[in-house]
């Protein structure tokens, strides 16, 4: 990814932890139709808009698990995951372990 993100990518990055953006809102802010935005995003990032947003959210969760003692549910919610069941499923798909196991393994690595 270049140092300066194009407008649609920046819109997703800057608004992840605020309210949930719709595809139409992101497309409108970039002056594109939703279909054009989807094509553009896939070409630019290699991912769909939601895959990209989830990857950014997941990175934020991993950072929270590494650097805070906050409960997993709070870290997930602050990263934009408001359905804990969906978050746990996605986290396990992404990392191969539960958030608690991830945090526990980090503790072993730091000792």
Q: Under a CB-based contact definition with an 8 Å cutoff, are residues 43 and 86 in contact?
A: no
* Locus of tokens 């990814």: 1
The predicted-structure confidence for 4-50, as pLDDT tens digits, reads as follows 556 666 666 655 555 577 888 888 878 889 999 999 889 988 999 88
The CA distance from 96 to 98, in Å, is: 7
Structure tokens at 32: 């594109």
pTM of the complete model: 0.76
Alpha helices in the chain (DSSP H): 7-15, 23-29, 34-45, 49-67, 72-78, 84-95, 99-110
């Amino acid at each position: 990814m270049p140092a300066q993100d194009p407008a649609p990518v920046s819109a997703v990055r800057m608004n992840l932890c605020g309210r949930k953006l719709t595809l139409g809102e992101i497309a409108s802010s970039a002056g594109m139709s939703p279909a054009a935005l989807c094509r553009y995003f896939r070409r630019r990032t290699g991912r769909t808009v939601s895959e990209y947003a989830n990857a950014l959210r997941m990175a934020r969760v991993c950072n929270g698990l590494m650097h805070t003692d906050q409960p997993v549910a709070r870290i997930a919610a602050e990263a934009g995951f408001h359905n804990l069941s969906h978050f746990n499923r996605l986290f396990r798909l992404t990392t191969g372990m539960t958030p608690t196991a991830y945090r526990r393994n980090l503790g072993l690595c730091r000792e």
